Amino acid sequence: MAADDKHVKRRPGGLGRGLSALLGDDPVAEAAPRATREVPIEKLHPNRYQPRTRFDDAAIEDLAASIKARGILQPILVRPSTSRPGEFEIVAGERRWRAAQRARLHEVPVVERALSDNESLEIAIVENVQRQDLSPIDEARGYRRLIEEFGHSQQDVADVVSKSRPHVANMTRLLTLPEKVQALLEIGELSAGHARALVTSDNAEWLAQEIVARGLNVRQAEELARGESRAGGRGPVRPAKDADTRALEKQLSEALGLQVSIDHKGPGGSVSIKYRTLDQLEDVTGRLAGGR
């Protein structure tokens, strides 16, 4: 971030202006062009302050298909590039830009605004955390940056992203978890609900591994965490799986191409198979039915 931008005086209520204000009437940007115009797609470049660390490939493909059918319905918000004269940096709309490239568009609609680094970062964070497909960790990082770098209160952030203040507080607490647990959140192995059960645990990493391996739901994860707490954080509440069980889990996982967990309970037990898509479920059903 440029040194000059650290001293930019933000507008009162700037966080609450929202993207609609930037794409429509904006008293702060009266000198900037207001009309949407078409710009060659290669003249646009990603935001240096993009808070999103992962872009879901399937979602981009779906958006590209929609763009092919209906075009880009909302223009991309850009600002002039400081390093490439005549070109632009995306402030909000990088997913649309990526999808437009896959849809083989030559030009995209943009609205240009003269924004500082601070404003660009702030808008990019707000635009991203309002989306439902942002990972819990990216969402939490966005909230933390709005609070720490821009001096907004948790209530300010909650108001602008249409969430409750406790939600913002709970999400930011996820950043206190060990890095390995945060990584499981980023790739979707754990949900935010799972992770909240681990925030106060001194054994969060082991608990996370158990939750994933056993395919526990949020309520089961909370029970596991409570049991671990009662045990004084000394490790597994139930006996660790023996080598034969782990070997069988590995064998079944390799055969099915999915994560398999075996849980012994007395003389019997259960076998859990974790799938992420309906295609995977249909595939494993076919295998077990002997149809493939």
Query: With left for phi above 0 and alpha for psi between -120 and 50, is residue 84 left, alpha or beta?
Result: beta
Nearest to 160, CA basis, from 170, 168, 172, 149: 168
* 75 CB burial (10 A radius; 0-12, 13-18, 19+): buried
| 94 noted as active-site residue | yes
Residue 24 identity: G
159: how many CB neighbours lie within 10 A of its CB?
16
Distance CA 254, CA 239 (A): 24
Active-site position among 94, 122, 210, 228: 94
Collapse the DSSP code of 37 into the 3-class scheme (helix H, G, I; strand E, B; otherwise coil) and give the result.
strand
Query: Helix, strand or coil for residue 3?
Result: helix
Centroid of chain to Cα 266: 40
Q: Which ranges constitute the DSSP H helices of 149-235?
A: 154-160, 165-173, 179-186, 192-196, 204-214, 218-230
Distance between alpha carbon 33 and the CA centroid of its chain, in Å?
32
Pair type for strands 88-92 and 107-112: unpaired
Q: Are 211 and 221 in contact (CB under 8 A)?
A: yes
Which residues neighbour 248 within 8 Å (Cβ) at sequence distance 6 or greater?
Answer: 262
By DSSP bridging, strand 88-92 and strand 76-80 are antiparallel
Cα dihedral 112→116→117→121 (10° resolution): -60
> Residues with catalytic annotation?
94
